[in-house]
Structure 1
Amino acid sequence: MTTRSARPGRPHRTQPPSFDFDPSRLSGLASGDAGAFAAEQFEATAYTDLALAEWQVGVGTTIDGCRFTTLELGSWTLRGSRIVESAFDGADVPVVSAARATLRDVDIRDSRFGSIEAYDGAWRGIRFTRCRLGFVNLRATELLDVAFEDCTIDEIDLLDATARRVAFDGSRIGALNVGGATLTDVDLRGADLQEVVGMTGLRGATISPDQLQLMAGALAELAGLRVED
């Protein structure tokens, strides 16, 4: 008996994230002081060396075209708020509460975050570079054009998330949960990936041959295969 295989279609090349925002354009901004910050002047303003026990951004508030350099917070709450075309350099925040927040064209560099609760949100055009991230909760969040470059991530939860053109170049991921996720052009080849939870949710992701070998046992178990010598 012969088995006919389906004719292969034209191979689809994994599409990288695409970014329109250039943080170098954030020049000539008004210099913000403590008074401007307290007055929530969050448009076309540059803030430097902010150290606060807590920063609560009101629901519906928009941070637009701002640059924050050396931001130290005990906690940061921005539930239901928006951050647009802004940059963060050298942020250190143990706790971030960002459920249902919208981030568009945001550049984050050389920063450290403990837990990030950002479920039910929308991220578009977001770049993390040389950042240290603890637990990142992106459950049911929509991600489009997101990059983690040279980052260390303890755990990232994409349960029921929708992700398109997301990459992890040069990053280390302790655990990745993709249960129920919808992935398109999610590129894991550049990541040192330690553990995957919800293996069926990896459909639509791109992995390297080495990663495939590491996942072979879990994939065989998922397919109901018994591997014996």
Structure 2
Amino acid sequence: MPAARSRKTQGTQSPSFDFDESVLGALDAGDDAMLDAGRLDGVAYSGISRETWELGTGDTVEACRFDGLDLGTWALRGARVVESVFAGANIPAVSAARGGWRDVEFVDSRLGSLEAFDVAWRGIRFTRCKLGYVNLRGAELLDVAFVDCTIDEMDLLDAAARRVAFDGARVGTLNASGAQLTDVDLRGADIGQVIGMEGLRGATISPEQLHLMAAALADLAGVVVE
């Protein structure tokens, strides 16, 4: 029996995505009245603009597409979002704590404060998005990607993340305090500041990033550099 390969030999695993947005190609067209009526399964909404959209605990958005979703606040604490795409969304405040998202894509969108602590995310992609403060404290993340995104601050305090990648992303501040990371690929990220350096155990960084973090890592290890 061959010996098991080490993690170093295997390399960092990339996020895996099964969802194909082409399955949303033939949806019923929705409008504001349908949204108010709770039609959240198999509908394509376009140009929705309102101050607030609120979902209750246990509500589910499934197999929907939203193009040009313009909201002041989006409250969906405890709600589920499944196999849905949001393109061109502009939402200054999103309250999505303790919810469950699976196979969801945000494209060319702007989200300000994204309160998503204690969530369970699987198969989530953000592409060319502008994100403000992303609160993922205590979250469970599996197969998540941030592609060509700008993120002001990401808080992973006590989060458990596996197969998460940052490809062409810029992150102002990353808080990794108490995080449990497995196959989290930071090589494609430009990170301004890291809080909780010890929480990066299990992440993958580039030689260039190692050079930039050398002083902080030496301080963490108690090494004096003179």
Q: Percent identity?
A: 62
Match of 1:15 in 2: 13
**1:91 pairs with 86, 89, 92, which one?**
89
Q: Deviations over 1:129-176 (max 9, x none)?
A: 000000000000000000000000000000000000000000000000
Q: How does 1:156-175 map to 2 (within 5 A)?
A: 156-175=154-173
Give distance in 1, aligned partners of 2:194 and 2:10.
Answer: 24
Give the match for residue 214 of structure 1: 212
How many residues align? The count is: 221
What residue number does 1:113 align with?
Answer: 111
**Counterpart pick for 2:33 among 32, 35, 41:** 35
- The letter of the residue matching 2:64 is C
Of structures 1 and 2, the larger Rg is shown by 1
Matched, 1:129 2:130: no
Distance 1:222 1:11 in 2: 27
- Superposed counterparts of 1:129-208, under 5 Å: 129-208=127-206
SS state at 1:170 partner: strand
- Per the alignment, residue 50 of structure 2 pairs with 52
Q: How far 1:12 sits from its partner (Å)?
A: 3.3
Residue in 2 aligned with 1:26?
24
Residue type of the partner of 1:120?
D
Q: Which runs of 5+ in 2 are unaligned?
A: none
CA displacement 1:96-142 (0-9 Å, x = unmatched): 00110110000110000100000011000000000000000000000
Q: 1:62 aligns with which of 56, 60, 63?
A: 60
SS of 2:158 mapped into structure 1: coil
1:169 aligned partner, one-letter code? D
Say if 2:24 and 2:63, in contact at 8 Å, map to a contact too: yes
2:31, 2:48 within 8 Å by CA — same for their partners in 1? no
TM-score by length of 1: 0.95
Structure 1: where are the runs of 5+ without partners?
1-7
**CA–CA distance in 2 between the matches of 1:33 and 1:151?**
29
Deviations 1:50-106 (A, max 9, x none): 001000011100000000000000000000000000000000000000110110000
The answer to whether the 8 Å contact 2:168/2:188 transfers is: yes
Which residue pairs with 2:102 in the alignment?
A: 104
Superposed structure 1 runs of 4+ greater than 3 Å apart:
none
Q: Which residue of 1 aligns with 2:79?
A: 81
Q: How far does residue 11 in structure 1 lie from its aligned partner after superposition?
A: 2.3
Amino acid aligned to 1:216:
A
CA RMSD of aligned residues (A): 1.0
What letter corresponds to residue 82 of structure 2 in structure 1? V
- Report if aligned partners of 2:87, 2:107 keep a CA contact under 8 Å in 1: yes
Cα offset for 1:34? 1.6
Q: 1: CA distance between counterparts of 2:95 and 2:114?
A: 6
Q: Secondary structure at the match of 2:67?
A: strand
2:224 to 218, 223, 226: 226
